[in-house]
Structure 1
């Protein structure tokens, strides 16, 4: 089994896709005005408009209402990424780069829809071994 994608539903496609392009330094592929993807390693970050929900039924997902999922990105140097994006995330910063007890150096912030994002770099040998 492979995790193919994580999809975020939003009411503002252009704003959210642009945000993720900037923080990841990747270019999204737009398939329609209601659906775009960023390829991140073997997985896709999919972003769909609220109009895509009509294919699934009423009340399936509510944009900008996530309070339980953290979208995590392993990066080479979290402190360098923080310096690059700190102005963009200054108003939604949750935690500056901090070394966590489990060995990851972690940067937490929210995207424009309020989804919690974690950029992290394994620091300890044990943390690094988990990702080899």
Structure 2
């Protein structure tokens, strides 16, 4: 089994799509006015409007802008450069400037327009680099 995508349900589809295009540098694919995907080489970030909930059983299935337990993570070639590139764009949404974590990744944390926590990280220790090289 493979993880294929993570989907965010939002009441602000276009704002969130533009945000993730800016952060990733990847142009989203719009399949309908209510559904788009940001496709990376390893997985997809799907973004659906609240209107898509009808296909999953109704409005009570998921609530937009209420996540407090999931971190959306992107592996970056150079998280320091991403921080410099995004610092002004993110303004008050930065949670943590690039910091090396005990597991060997340098992480930059911020929130998207719906309040979801996003982590851009770069493996920096030999162990972390080896871990991600083995996964490719």
* TM-score, scaled to structure 2: 0.95
List structure 1 segments (4+ residues) > 6 angstroms apart after TM superposition: none
Cα deviation, 1:73-123, whole Å, max 9, x if unaligned, reads 000000001111111112110000001111110000000000000000000
SS in 1 for 2:120: strand
Structure 1: how far apart are the matches of 2:37 and 2:127?
32
Structure 2: how far apart are the matches of 1:108 and 1:7?
19
Which one has a larger percent helix, Structure 1 or Structure 2? 2
- Report the counterpart of residue 121 of structure 2 in structure 1: 120
- The number of residues matched between the two structures is 132
- Report the counterpart of residue 51 of structure 1 in structure 2: 51
Structure 1: how far apart are the matches of 2:40 and 2:33?
21
Cα deviation, 1:8-57, whole Å, max 9, x if unaligned, reads 00001110000000000010000000000011112111000000001111
Structure 2: how far apart are the matches of 1:41 and 1:62?
28
Structure 1: how far apart are the matches of 2:19 and 2:42?
21
* TM-score, scaled to structure 1: 0.98
- Report the counterpart of residue 98 of structure 1 in structure 2: 99
Q: CA RMSD in A?
A: 0.7
Question: Gaps spanning 5+ residues in structure 1: where?
Answer: none
- Report the counterpart of residue 62 of structure 2 in structure 1: 61
Question: Gaps spanning 5+ residues in structure 2: where?
Answer: none
